[in-house]
A and B are shown apart, each in its own frame.
Chain A
Amino acid sequence: MSKETTSATFGFFGVVAALLAVLLTLYGQGTGEALRVLFDRSSLLLTGSSNFSGFGGGFSANVIISVLSMAIALVCGFFLGGAMVSPNAMVRSVAVVFMNLLRSSPWLVVLYAMLYLLPFNVSIFGHHIFVSPFLKAVIGLSFPVTAYIAEAFRNGIHAVPDGQWESARALGYRRGQILRLIILPQAFPLMLPNLMTTYAMLFIGTSLVVVTGTSDVLSIGKTVIASDGDDYAAAVYLYILLLFFLFAYPLATWTRALERSLSKGK
């Protein structure tokens, strides 16, 4: 096992052990009972339904929201980033201002804003679409993330040496072709660690959607505490912390490995 893998494994078990230790310290004799409650409520916390009969609530909602927001942000960020490297100075400056506006909005503020700015019903060509809190959460989170992705995109393009542009132009390629055939294939691997870090941030940020009234893991957690009693509040939150950790940690480890292989490949 390489040094990096060893330290990653240690980090993983270290955090899990630390969370268990906190649980033990807090509950002492009652730890077993606390674990039983967590076990019984696992289905609810993970899927939002009892006995794993459904899907789309609880922790799975956090996963789905993060994936959908990321997908929207990737598409929008791609275009915004493209506008930020436009040869047209006007387009470029508008895009940069817009990116900065999105990037500097606090996520929680954006989510609250979505709650009150977006209507509950939208009609498009006579079709009425119900804008659920879930949808609002997805849209709200995709705003700041769009800015991060646009920025990653611009940096990736700028990281490709100017000589590549010049030699491609000398071969008769046009701007769009150069971007598509020569620059982006080289920029994408450079952007990847950045995009993954952004995704990890977005994923952790999904815990904020509790304010929109989506039944994500945090609001399910609150329901569980309300029904099982405040005694188990700490255990429930530790459990939620563990869930986020289990999802985000492998991502972070993988990102670091990617960064290492990229810097070696240079």
Chain B
Amino acid sequence: MNTPPCKPFIEVANIYKSYGSIAVLKGISMTIQAGDVACIIGPSGSGKSTLLRCLNGLVSVDRGTIRVDDFSVELLQSEKELVPLRHKVSMVFQQYNLFPHKTVLQNIMMAPIQVLGHNKQDVHERAVKLLAKVQLSGKENAYPGELSGGQQQRVAIARALAMQPEIILFDEVTAALDPEMVQEVLNVIRDLASEGMTCVLVTHEMRFAQQVADQVFFTDGGVMVEHGAPDRFFNNPSDPRLKSFLAKVL
């Protein structure tokens, strides 16, 4: 990584976001180091997914600052200004959101060619390697509808990786999957983490968070209640809200 280790890679300071009269984020701050795996957990409706979407500018904040590497995300207004950020920060969604009218290979190759203007041959080579990495070689010409949920989600990860990002955001990527497919997706994320990719996950997979995360964040009611290394976080939580949440999910 080109950032010095002392300077956090992602720095969110005191952000607020309301939809109409509903306040979703009420002064959230967090910092994430380059190469770290950060897991955001919390009850549904606690603003986790909104927080994640603030990091790549899919959601604009009302107040506060978000710095991702050298980008001041809250200042980026036009779609054009956001392109370099989207290049650096990829995202994978709960519902996969693959493009159903395109083949697996086209899904992976589209954005690098059409958005980043990369050379088609290079992107093709990259896409084939990425498919091998997510263990879907041979599925190049399949359509998303012909794949299982776990396979689709792995294609979505390959598509995110094809942008050559430095950060990947995972928004409850296993929540829509059948139990037996959860592991195959988590394994891919585990590999990415071990290669030093900065990963920010909103997840309900507590065991995964415990094993893989460098930092865990707990949000409830739009505020950051507690954060810390997984050992202390899971074994010795201090906030009563976190205690009761963990008692329910563990």
Asked if B50 lies at the interface with its beta carbon under 8 angstroms from chain A, I say no
Q: A174-B80, A177-B114 are in contact. Are A167 and B86 (CB under 8 A)?
A: no
Q: How far is the CA of A167 from the CA of B246 in the complex (A)?
A: 31
Quick one: which of B58, B97, B114, B116 contacts A164, CB cutoff 8 A?
Answer: B97
B115 touching A172, Cβ below 8 Å: yes
Q: How far is the CA of A174 from the CA of B111 in the complex (A)?
A: 11
B residues in contact with A174, CB < 8 Å? 79-80, 83
Asked if B87 lies at the interface with its beta carbon under 8 angstroms from chain A, I say yes
> Which residue among A161, A168, A170, A181 has the maximum number of chain B CB atoms within 10 Å of its CB?
A170
B100 touching A186, Cβ below 8 Å: yes
A residues in contact with B110, CB < 8 Å? 171, 181
Q: Could you tell me the dominant secondary structure of chain A's interface residues? A: helix
B163 touching A171, Cβ below 8 Å: yes
Asked if A173 lies at the interface with its beta carbon under 8 angstroms from chain B, I say yes
Contact string, B55-82, partner A, CB cutoff 8 A, digits 1/0? 0101000000000000000000001101
B residues in contact with A161, CB < 8 Å? 95, 97
Q: Which residue of A lies closest to B84 (CB)?
A: A172
A residues in contact with B79, CB < 8 Å? 174-175
Q: Which residue of A lies closest to B169 (CB)?
A: A170
Count residues of chain B with CB under 8 A from any CB of chain A.
25
Q: Which residue of A lies closest to B115 (CB)?
A: A172
Tell me the minimal C-beta distance from B79 to chain A in angstroms: 4
Tell me the minimal C-beta distance from B129 to chain A in angstroms: 19
Asked if A106 lies at the interface with its beta carbon under 8 angstroms from chain B, I say no
Asked if A228 lies at the interface with its beta carbon under 8 angstroms from chain B, I say no
Asked if A182 lies at the interface with its beta carbon under 8 angstroms from chain B, I say yes
Quick one: which of A166, A175, A185 contacts B58, CB cutoff 8 A?
Answer: A166
Asked if A169 lies at the interface with its beta carbon under 8 angstroms from chain B, I say yes
B100 touching A172, Cβ below 8 Å: no
Asked if A163 lies at the interface with its beta carbon under 8 angstroms from chain B, I say yes
Quick one: which of A167, A170, A173, A185 contacts B114, CB cutoff 8 A?
Answer: A173
Asked if B234 lies at the interface with its beta carbon under 8 angstroms from chain A, I say no
B93 touching A163, Cβ below 8 Å: yes
A173 touching B100, Cβ below 8 Å: no
Asked if B215 lies at the interface with its beta carbon under 8 angstroms from chain A, I say no
B101 touching A170, Cβ below 8 Å: no
Q: Which residue of A lies closest to B56 (CB)?
A: A170
Q: Which residue of B lies closest to A265 (CB)?
A: B145
B101 touching A171, Cβ below 8 Å: no
B residues in contact with A168, CB < 8 Å? 99
Q: Which residue of A lies closest to B162 (CB)?
A: A171
Quick one: which of A169, A171, A173, A186 contacts B159, CB cutoff 8 A?
Answer: A171
Q: How far is the CA of A224 from the CA of B163 in the complex (A)?
A: 71
Asked if B91 lies at the interface with its beta carbon under 8 angstroms from chain A, I say yes
A171 touching B58, Cβ below 8 Å: no
Tell me the minimal C-beta distance from B188 to chain A in angstroms: 18
Q: A170-B91, A174-B79 are in contact. Are A163 and B116 (CB under 8 A)?
A: no
A166 touching B97, Cβ below 8 Å: yes
Contact string, B85-129, partner A, CB cutoff 8 A, digits 1/0? 011001101010111110000000011001110000000000000
Q: Which residue of A lies closest to B99 (CB)?
A: A182
Tell me the minimal C-beta distance from B190 to chain A in angstroms: 22
A residues in contact with B90, CB < 8 Å? 170-171
Quick one: which of A164, A172, A182, A185 contacts B86, CB cutoff 8 A?
Answer: A172
Q: Which residue of A lies closest to B100 (CB)?
A: A186
A172 touching B116, Cβ below 8 Å: yes
B residues in contact with A177, CB < 8 Å? 114-115
A170 touching B58, Cβ below 8 Å: yes
Q: How far is the CA of A262 from the CA of B100 in the complex (A)?
A: 14
Tell me the minimal C-beta distance from B81 to chain A in angstroms: 11
Q: Which residues A45-82 have CB closer than 8 A to chain B?
A: none
Q: How far is the CA of A177 from the CA of B58 in the complex (A)?
A: 16
Q: How far is the CA of A189 from the CA of B38 in the complex (A)?
A: 41
A167 touching B80, Cβ below 8 Å: no
B residues in contact with A173, CB < 8 Å? 111, 114-115
A residues in contact with B111, CB < 8 Å? 171-173
Tell me the minimal C-beta distance from B110 to chain A in angstroms: 7
Quick one: which of A163, A172, A175, A185 contacts B97, CB cutoff 8 A?
Answer: A163
B87 touching A172, Cβ below 8 Å: yes
Residue contacts A-B, CB under 8 angstroms, 13 given: A161-B97, A166-B58, A166-B93, A167-B93, A169-B58, A169-B86, A170-B56, A172-B83, A172-B87, A172-B111, A181-B110, A181-B114, A186-B101
Q: Which 5 pairs from chain A and chain B are nearest by CB?
A: A167-B97, A172-B86, A171-B111, A172-B115, A163-B97
- Contacts A167-B99, A170-B93, A181-B110 known; 16 new A-B pairs at CB < 8 A: A164-B97, A167-B156, A168-B99, A171-B86, A171-B115, A172-B82, A172-B83, A172-B87, A172-B115, A172-B116, A172-B163, A173-B111, A173-B114, A177-B115, A181-B114, A186-B99
